[in-house]
């Protein structure tokens, strides 16, 4: 791969610390969520940050594919649900569900576009064969 862009962020303190990008635009306190033993859910966590990045990237891939195939859609939306859990051998893993909403197309077109975007998206490509990613596709204008 020939890199086009490299993002840089540094974490200190792990799940109860700080993450900051090299340009200072991203500067967040992170905390362990309550479900993992944290005190509260008033802060972001690594899974939310991953979900935000994946959903934005997938939506961009979706719009690229729609444009390439000349399929006119309404405003698309992608919700990434990132789960963390024990794998049973003392390690942890992730699972992802992408809820992909593509209004103003048929159900078949929406499914085809989402599957094509799943082949294009760098996050999807990075996770393929390692993390289960479920695609849930709708074409509801109000989803």
Same domain, 31 and 75: no
| Per-position b or e across 10-19, b if 16+ CB within 10 A of its CB | eeeeebeeeb
Q: Are residues 7 and 74 in the same domain?
A: no
In this structure, is residue 143 part of a structural domain?
no
Query: Residue 2's domain spans which residues?
Result: 1-44
For residue 127, pLDDT beyond 80: yes
Q: Look at residue 93 in the predicted model and tell me its pLDDT.
A: 95
* Per-residue pLDDT, 141: 67
Q: Is residue 17 part of a domain?
A: yes
142 DSSP assignment: T
Asked if residue 128 is part of any domain, the answer here is yes
- pLDDT tops 60 at residue 54: yes
Residues 20 and 72 both lie in one domain = no
**Domain assignment present for 27:** yes
Residue 140: pLDDT band with limits 50, 70, 90: confident
The strand pair at 77-86 and 132-138 is best described as unpaired
- Tens of pLDDT, residue by residue over 81-102, are 999 999 989 999 999 999 999 9
- Check which CATH number belongs to the domain holding 13 and give it: 2.20.25.10
The count of structural domains within the chain is 2
Instruction: Please name the residue that has the structure tokens 């991203």.
Output: 26
pTM: 0.93
Structural domain includes residue 5: yes
């Amino acid at each position: 791969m020939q890199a086009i862009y490299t993002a840089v962020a540094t974490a200190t303190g792990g799940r109860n610390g700080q993450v900051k990008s090299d340009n200072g635009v991203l500067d967040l306190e992170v905390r362990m969520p309550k479900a993992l033993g944290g005190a509260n859910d008033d802060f972001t966590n690594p899974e939310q940050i991953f979900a935000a990045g994946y959903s934005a990237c997938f939506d961009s891939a979706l719009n690229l594919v729609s444009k390439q195939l000349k399929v006119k859609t309404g405003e698309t939306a992608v919700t990434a649900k990132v789960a963390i859990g024990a794998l049973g051998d003392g390690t942890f893993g992730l699972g992802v569900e992408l809820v992909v909403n593509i209004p103003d197309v048929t159900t078949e077109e929406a499914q085809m576009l989402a599957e094509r975007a799943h082949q294009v998206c760098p996050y999807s490509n990075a996770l393929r064969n390692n993390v289960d990613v479920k695609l849930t596709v709708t074409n509801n204008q109000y989803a």
